[in-house]
Amino acid sequence: MNGPIRPTGVASITASLISTASPSEVGCVPKKESRQNIPTKKQLVDPFRQGVIIEGGVGYRQTVVIRSYEVGADKTATLESIFNLLQETALNHVWVSGLLGDGFGATHGMMRNNLIWVVTKMQVQVDNYPIWGEIMEVETWVGASGKNGMRRDWLIRSHATGQVYTCDSTWVMMNKKTRRLSKMPEEVRAEISPWFIEKHAIQEDTPEKINKLDPKAKYVNKDLKPTRSDLDMNHHVNNVKYVKWMLETIPDMFLESHQLSSIILEYRRECGSSDIVQSLCEPDEGGLLEDGAQNDNGINRLTEISLATEGFEGCSYKKSPLRYTHLLQITGETKNEEIVRGRTTWERK
| Residues marked as catalytic | 234, 236, 271
- Cα–Cα nearest to 253, from 305, 297, 289, 301: 289
CA–CA separation, 172 vs 181, rounded Å? 7
In this structure, the number of other CB atoms found within 10 A of the CB of residue 307 comes to 14
Helix axes 79-97, 239-247, angle to 10 degrees: 170
Amino acid, res. 224 = L
18: exposed, middle or buried (Cβ count in 10 Å: 0-12, 13-18, 19+): exposed
Bridge partners of 149?
145
CA–CA separation, 278 vs 331, rounded Å? 7
Longest dimension (CA), the chain: 79
Q: Give the length of the chain.
A: 349
**Residue 323: helix, strand or coil by DSSP?**
strand
CA–CA separation, 246 vs 327, rounded Å? 8
CA angle in degrees (0–180, nearest 5) for 22-9-163 = 125
Instruction: Give percent helix, percent strand, percent coil of the chain, each to the nearest 5.
Output: 25, 35, 45
User: Contact at 8 Å (CB) between 106 and 168?
Assistant: no
